[in-house]
Amino acid sequence: NDPPAQQKKEIDDKIKAMRKRHEAAAKSMIAGELMLLRLDCAVVQSRHREESGYAAFDTVLAAFPEGTPLYETAGFLERTHIQICVRHPVSVVRYFCVKGRR
């Protein structure tokens, strides 16, 4: 039995189970300008629970292309954004806010 293949299957099964339980959360919801992506958070946390035996990490960064192209040949989409998941707030050294935005 191939351990990495078995681990991948277990992770895939967990994700499928979470999707069933949290079907409504699988879709992005907009509350003002705050994007709530509960399923993404659940997947990251489930994948790296301490008892899983996987090497832990503190931060994950990913791009999410969303929306329609800004112009006909654009590689940029209207709502493309970057999400950063920091599992331990003490890891945040500093941050900044763009003037005029909340």
Q: What pLDDT digit, counting tens, does each position of 8-58 carry?
A: 787 778 777 766 665 554 454 444 344 556 556 666 666 666 666 766 677
Neighbours of 58 (CB within 10 A): 13
Q: For residues 47 and 2, what is the distance between their CA atoms, to the nearest angstrom?
A: 19
Radius of gyration of the chain (CA): 17
pLDDT tens-digit series, residues 53-96 = 766 677 778 788 888 888 888 888 888 888 887 878 888 888 88
Of 50, 55, 35, 42, residue with least CA distance to 14: 42
Q: For residues 55 and 58, what is the distance between their CA atoms, to the nearest angstrom?
A: 10
